[in-house]
Amino acid sequence: MINLITSALFLVLIPGISPLKHDQSRILAPSVKQSVVITGIEGTPKNPFEKSPKVRLLAFVFIMHDCPISNQYLPEVKRIFKRFDSQGVKSRLVYEEAGVDIKTLITHSKDFGIGNYTVIDKSFALAKNLGVTITPEAVVTSADGAVLYRGRINDLYVDYGKRRPTVTVNDFKDAIAQCLKGKLYNSRTKAIGCYIPFDAAK
């Protein structure tokens, strides 16, 4: 809570950036539970919550390269990321992969044209901290890591292998748009996809 208040006061002092205020009772998690380090696709360590005065929200989508539903959603995820690039949203496509050759992930990211957003969570630490268990699963947080939305990208999939003819609700995109206005769209929805094999990191 102190960190959120401090960040809000800090943003007030920056011209052109307004602090985001949210109903605290609907925030899913007040902050990440521990320091988390992930790696870029090139192998460089990264802090997913590194502070920047230009960042208003963080948007994460967790995937596995061999999850068919993850791959089905990647073109839409790319469109959403690009849509909010200029609005203070820092987006990350997070590979939940342990023991997968880095060349496989590099090839996969190039095939889908998403390399500039890509990071790898080999130990599953980021997924665990944000409460993610499925791929694909989307998370929107404040700049301090308070979880504002977690769940599906949209309602295309009713269940694994069962799709609607067309999308009727764009949860992830709408959640980002609403959170940018200081509102919470719908804190939690159910993601459909492949379960993250947490035991593989042990």
45-90 residue pLDDT tens: 999 988 889 999 999 999 999 999 999 999 999 999 999 999 999 9
Residue 172 binned pLDDT confidence (cut-offs 50, 70, 90)? very high
**Is the pTM higher than 0.85?**
no
CATH number at residue 138: 3.40.30.10
Query: In the predicted model, is pLDDT for residue 26 greater than 70?
Result: no
Range of the domain at 66: 2-201
Nearest to 155 by CA among 139, 140, 172: 172
Q: What is the pLDDT of residue 34?
A: 53
User: What distances in angstroms separate CA 112 from CA 74, 86, 139, 142, 172, one per listed residue?
Assistant: 7, 21, 21, 27, 19
What are 29's two structure tokens? 């998690």
Query: In the predicted model, is pLDDT for residue 171 greater than 70?
Result: yes
Q: What are the residues whose beta carbons fall under 8 Å from the beta carbon of 7, sequence distance 6 or more?
A: 19, 142, 143, 144
Domain count, the chain: 1
